[in-house]
Amino acid sequence: MLDQIQNKIFSVIPNLNPLIFVSITVITSLYIFWKLCSRTRKNNSSVFDTYFIGSIFALLFGRVAYIISNYSDFNRYIWYWLPYEKYGDEIFLFRLLPWRFFRIWDLGLEVLFLCVGLLIGCTYWVIVAKKWKWSHLYIAIYTAGYTLLLLSIISIGKFTNNTFWFSQGTIMLVLLLVWSILRSIFIKVVIGIKEMKILLVTDIIFITLSSILVTRMYMLGTLSLVEKVGVISFITWTAIGLFYHIIDTNKATVIIEKVSSVRQVSVNDIRQQIRSKK
């Protein structure tokens, strides 16, 4: 039944250029990152800079991991000092080593390391460059990386007719949508400290389930050494980041409770005190 549904979806989705799906993936991930950052009241330019730096790390990590995993495909090419070859009137760009390493437009990228690179790049920019509060950006960074990964998995499943990858990516997408809807409802219905606690619990459940889905998907197959490193890196970043996110959020809750417990003094109270002294 599931295979029939997937085959129908494959037939409905047009055979567009893969670069179009890559563009949709990046734009969607950026939008989710920006949307989650909007509640922190960060400057839009700084938010975009954070994602841009993360994207550079993502491309770098994804490409290097792909080269290491498929080095036998690169090793058969000769090394040449110019980035092009000319045979008569025909010119071939970036076809030989080391220039072939930079042919990112061929989509030779390891998708798990795209996610890991985005997570590490954004983390560096948030903590080292901007020195922002970790609890403000952790959910946005994780969700952006998770979105980038799941849409990449769905795209690979579609273009390779791999029903397993497509189904796993679809499950990851459903989980993201359910979490987004619940989070939106809680934000509108609940206010104050209770909202922070409910959102924290909801986020912890989402991050735990989604990271388990990603790990399970890779563990069901035969992992290469590079993929094992990618899975371990993803789990490690997620666990450490979540730990500090919980600590940071609890600190913020304590501060809010202290501030809210202070009695507010109105102008009328001050006037009454002055009159009583007279």
Locus of tokens 């619940």: 182
CA distances from 239 to 33, 138, 203, 245, 246 (A): 20, 11, 13, 10, 11
Mean pLDDT of the residues in the chain: 83
Does pLDDT of 256 surpass 60?
no
H or E element at residue 93? strand 90-93
CA distance 118 to 2: 32
Q: CA 82, CA 115: separation in Å to the nearest integer?
A: 32
Question: What is the mean predicted confidence (pLDDT) over 75-84?
Answer: 82
22-36, 44-58, 108-122, 239-253: least confident range: 239-253
Tokens of 251: 């600190």
Residues 6+ apart with CB under 8 A from 179: 202, 206
pLDDT of residue 3: 54
Q: What is the pLDDT of residues 200-249, one digit of tens each?
A: 999 999 999 999 999 999 998 888 899 999 999 999 999 999 999 999 88
Could you tell me the pLDDT band of residue 259, with boundaries at 50, 70 and 90?
A: very low
Q: Can you tell me the mean pLDDT for 44-49? A: 89
Q: Are 119 and 237 in contact (CB under 8 A)?
A: yes
The answer to whether the pTM exceeds 0.85 is: no
Identity of the amino acid at 249: T
Reduced to 3 states, what is the DSSP secondary structure of residue 166? helix
Q: Tens digits of per-residue pLDDT, 139-175?
A: 999 999 999 999 999 888 887 888 888 899 999 999 9
Q: What percent of the chain has pLDDT over 90?
A: 46
pLDDT above 50: residue 100: yes
What are the start-end ranges of the H helices in the chain?
A: 2-12, 18-38, 44-69, 71-75, 111-124, 134-159, 163-189, 193-219, 225-260, 267-277
Give 66 or 192, the one with higher predicted confidence.
66
Q: Per mean pLDDT, which range of 40-49, 78-87, 257-266 is the poorest?
A: 257-266
Residue 65: per-residue pLDDT: 94
Tokens of residue 13, six digits: 């989705």
pLDDT of residue 34: 93
Backbone torsions φ then ψ of 70, nearest 5 degrees: -125, 40
The better pLDDT of the pair 238, 258 is held by 238
pLDDT value at position 187? 83
Other CB atoms within a 10 A radius of the CB of residue 67 amount to: 17
CB-based contact 197:185 (threshold 8 Å): no
